[in-house]
Structure 1
Amino acid sequence: MPNTADLLSTLLAFPTISANANEALIRWCAARIGDAGGRIHIMAGAAPGKFNLLASFGPDTGSGIVLSGHSDVVPVAGQAWSTDPFILTDRNGKLYGRGSSDMKGFLAACLSAATRADKGKLLRPLHLAFSYDEEIGCVGVRDLLDRLAEEKFQAEGCVIGEPTEQKVARGHKGKLAGCICCFGLPAHSANPALGCNAISLAADMVREAETMQAHLAMSGPRDDAYPYPSTSVHVGTIKGGSALNIVPEYCEMQFEIRNVAGDEPRELVETLREQAAHITARRGKGRVEIGITNEYPGLDTKEEDLFARKILAAAGTQSCKIGFGTEGGLFSQRLQMPVVICGPGSIDRAHKPDEYVTQDELDACDMFLDRVIAGLSS
């Protein structure tokens, strides 16, 4: 019976950066689950080589529990790793590798727990759901959830094992990502009045985004359970211009809105569009287009929810809300079930060189999942 660290070592060796296929990892997991007596459904995704996996143990019917995680990881290019990111390296109980915290440690713990469990005693089903392309906007899980919704899938609730240091997170903000595209008029820089500077338009829109965030922080909805308690409006990239002596014709910015409950991100986008129209009207030249490229809902499971209380008792830790997004809001919205986030590792180590999870954290997750699964037998 392989332990969780051994399983993690194998999972890390699959370089499932979101740009790559995840098929080999999914089929390897399916084989392990099949050996453990699970019923397996591999579902092809929208892109070649991309797959979701749903596996079930115990009865075919009944209100069971879903343990869920994503199989993809963020890139390592340009990062200064001291170890090979796709080979697990153990240094004094710290297990280094890309995805060790986010979130192959939890996938390994799920496989390990399913192997250990006495499936003959299960009175309600245990489901494992592994998705693809979470890191680029919770893309792949939507295919899985659409399929489950069509099949009238039901469960008592879902635990998503993102790295929370084994705390039970009941909520996270929603996210909307988009592009602010600024179109000017080219001219020689010696006579800028003949043109319209697209970078200058973009600078105006950056100020509008900052003004909006300041207004939301001052008078918008707040949730003090979050590290940043208000809705944030963030410009992350900007590209524009072709040469120093040309008035730039085009500039684009990628932006995101991470909203607390009570703020509607699409309404905030409409406000940005209105401000863009005022800016271009004052100038009498140029235009600004704002498009939405990705969005997913927030999660807000109530503290008094029975499922949340059960998972909190099994974890033996405290509840919280987290600042980063997960697939939890989509599970909750599309399948109408309570969802909590609880897993080994720390998000503060994720997406960085020398990402790691500790052996102690994996051991704690093993004990947590054993208690969760034992609850399906009573």
Structure 2
Amino acid sequence: MELHARTREILNDLIAFPSVSSESNQALITYAAGLLDDCGAKIDFTTSPCGRKANLFATLGPEVDGGILLSGHSDVVPVTDQDWSSDPFNMEERDGRLYGRGSCDMKGFIAATLAMAPIYATQVNARPIHFAFTYDEEVGCLGAQHLAEDLTARGILPGVAIIGEPTEMRVIEGHKGCYEYSTHFHGLPGHGSAPDLGVNAVEYAVRYVSELLQLKQRLRGMAPVVSHFDPPWTTVNVGAMQGGVAHNVIAPKAQVDWEMRPVCARDADLVKTELRRLCEEELLPEMRQIYPEADITVETIGEVAGLEPMAENEARRIMSELTGANGADLVAFGTEAGIFQALGMDVVVCGPGSINQAHKADEYLSLDQLDQCLSVLKRLGGYL
């Protein structure tokens, strides 16, 4: 079957798997593993702690360091409360576009790599090519972190990683990190007429948020001298705040949901250190003077490392040659790329489709973008 048609066939199959992050992705992973096994690839799985999800890592060629890794996440965001024009889990072609949940984010790239696998199997020589398909990227890059631990334990280190997130086939060499937290405040309820006899969790949460806002302003003045990010500084956002029972009740519980997007690890360390100091030296001593069991706990929703631009980057060189790009760009959205970079790989993000279509109703991948991706992947075989 012709390559383009085969890719569309695989993409149709992938979209039919409703691999929303809240559900299992194992049927999709088993399907992809079967296609790679047919090509003679060595197949490895890492199962999630819950046992319902898995990563797939497959290799064509010798088991040596320095190979090329093609990576994508298998999970998609929900379609709940979205007004789709067609069944989101049944691929439909209209006006030169392939519609379906995950078509661009990022099953289109995965389909293209799976369609290319039989060709790579005939081309691979001294340099292996790897395929990594992960779980739970959309909820904190959990699968990629699990895969990184597994690769480290097994002593496998690809030299180059290409993360196929939708960039319209632009070569992306950097993005900020994304750290998300929920901070929980546990106080002592009481009657509002006697505030000194209780510990008002909402009031302490407000002081915590005040510190976050001060740090937010402080970070604006700490932007690197040369920063191509927009905005160029580390950002902080307070996304939600809940707490309290009624007008006349001292609030026993409160919660602050917040995130930061650091341009460098130093900024993330600063924010966490200052908040820890506030809690340990000011808030908790005051709370526990009245109620010894009062507490403040920080729940880490996800800490996704950023992708830092590097002076020397083989992945950037290869993809720039293949796409004809004169340079590489930065993006605002996060990916799994920083996790692989932290292992020592040269990494770029480059894949078909537009991020502007991701997570929305009527998500689509244009046929033109799919063809551009296949053209690049075909020429990638020359680097094996």
- Do the two structures share a fold, i.e. TM-score over 0.5? yes
- Structure 2 counterpart of 1:25, from 12, 25, 28: 28
For residues 180 and 215 of structure 2, the distance between their equivalents in structure 1, rounded to whole angstroms, comes to: 16
Letter in 1 for 2:304: Y
- Give, in angstroms, the shift of residue 354 of structure 1: 2.1
Give runs of aligned pairs for residues 35-184 of structure 1, distance below 5 A.
35-61=38-64, 63-117=66-120, 119-120=122-123, 122-184=125-187
Structure 1 pair 201/261, CA: closer, same or farther in 2 (3 Å)? Answer: same
- Give, in angstroms, the shift of residue 36 of structure 1: 2.9
Give the aligned length: 375
Aligned residue in 1 for 2:339: 330
- Structure 1 counterpart of 2:296, from 289, 309, 312: 289
For residues 373 and 292 of structure 1, the distance between their equivalents in structure 2, rounded to whole angstroms, comes to: 44
Instruction: Name the SS of the counterpart of 2:184 in structure 1.
Output: strand
- Give, in angstroms, the shift of residue 14 of structure 1: 0.6
Letter in 2 for 1:296: V
For residues 189 and 150 of structure 1, the distance between their equivalents in structure 2, rounded to whole angstroms, comes to: 56
Q: Which moved more, 1:64-73 or 1:180-189?
A: 180-189
Instruction: Name the SS of the counterpart of 1:349 in structure 2.
Output: coil
- Is 1:306 matched up with 2:314? yes
For residues 64 and 265 of structure 2, the distance between their equivalents in structure 1, rounded to whole angstroms, comes to: 37
Aligned residue in 2 for 1:340: 348
- Give, in angstroms, the shift of residue 123 of structure 1: 3.9
Aligned residue in 2 for 1:9: 12
Structure 1 pair 55/282, CA: closer, same or farther in 2 (3 Å)? Answer: closer
Aligned residue in 1 for 2:203: 200
Instruction: Name the SS of the counterpart of 2:249 in structure 1.
Output: coil
Aligned residue in 1 for 2:361: 353
Contact 1:303-1:309 within 8 A present in 2 as well: no
Percent of residue pairs bearing the same amino acid type? 39
For residues 118 and 54 of structure 1, the distance between their equivalents in structure 2, rounded to whole angstroms, comes to: 16
Contact 2:197-2:290 within 8 A present in 1 as well: no
- Given the two structures, how large is their TM-score scaled by the length of structure 1? 0.90
- Give, in angstroms, the shift of residue 289 of structure 1: 1.9
For residues 101 and 332 of structure 1, the distance between their equivalents in structure 2, rounded to whole angstroms, comes to: 23
- Give, in angstroms, the shift of residue 130 of structure 1: 0.8
Aligned residue in 1 for 2:229: 226
User: CA deviation digits over 1:64-84, x for unaligned, max 9?
Assistant: 201011111112222232322
Instruction: Name the SS of the counterpart of 2:142 in structure 1.
Output: coil
Instruction: Name the SS of the counterpart of 2:221 in structure 1.
Output: helix
For residues 123 and 276 of structure 2, the distance between their equivalents in structure 1, rounded to whole angstroms, comes to: 58
Instruction: Name the SS of the counterpart of 1:371 in structure 2.
Output: helix
Aligned residue in 2 for 1:370: 378
Letter in 1 for 2:20: I
For residues 139 and 307 of structure 1, the distance between their equivalents in structure 2, rounded to whole angstroms, comes to: 24
Contact 1:301-1:339 within 8 A present in 2 as well: no
